[in-house]
A = this chain, B = another copy of it.
Amino acid sequence: MAIDETEIARRMDLFAKACRESGAKRTHQRMEIFREVAQSGDHPDVETVHRRVRKRMPTVSLDTVYRTLWWLKELGLVNTLGPPRERTRFDANLSDHHHFMCTHCGVTWDFNSDALNHLSIAETVQSIGSMETMHLEVKGICHNCTVDKSSPT
């Protein structure tokens, strides 16, 4: 699950470039925090990143890790798993379905895809484990938002 050295180097280059282009300072903390995520294959949460970075840089504070990770996400250098800065939401629709989430107004719409259901994803992932469920999350701009740029309630 460790990332290849060449790939880590490539990611660090991307980071340097993004700092230069955005005019942000390349501080020790930011480098170590990004390096930690860049070399982890295991999608760590904020606290895990903090714990690991502290081994090399014992004074780094938790709030800097929070600030830095969200800043990296803004720069497009990292992505988040799950809904970023959103609470868990509940759904009583138990049928097979997928979600389209509007990045503008936040509304989530259900949709179905026979084509996807017929794809044998179970076979694709059989080297990892046995599949129980699958769920496609699509992000984009919904028509309510493209048409009149106002958010529905």
Contact = CB atoms under 8 A, between A and B. Distances in A.
Given A100-B125, A140-B131, A141-B132, A91 B80 contact: yes
Contacts of A93: 41, 79
A84 B77 contact: no
A78 B100 contact: no
A92 B77 contact: yes
A151 interface: no
Contact of A119 (B11, B40, B76, B116): B116
Nearest to A69: B90
Interface string A33-53: 010011011111111010000
Given A37-B92, A130-B140, 4 more contacts: A43-B91, A116-B119, A129-B141, A135-B139
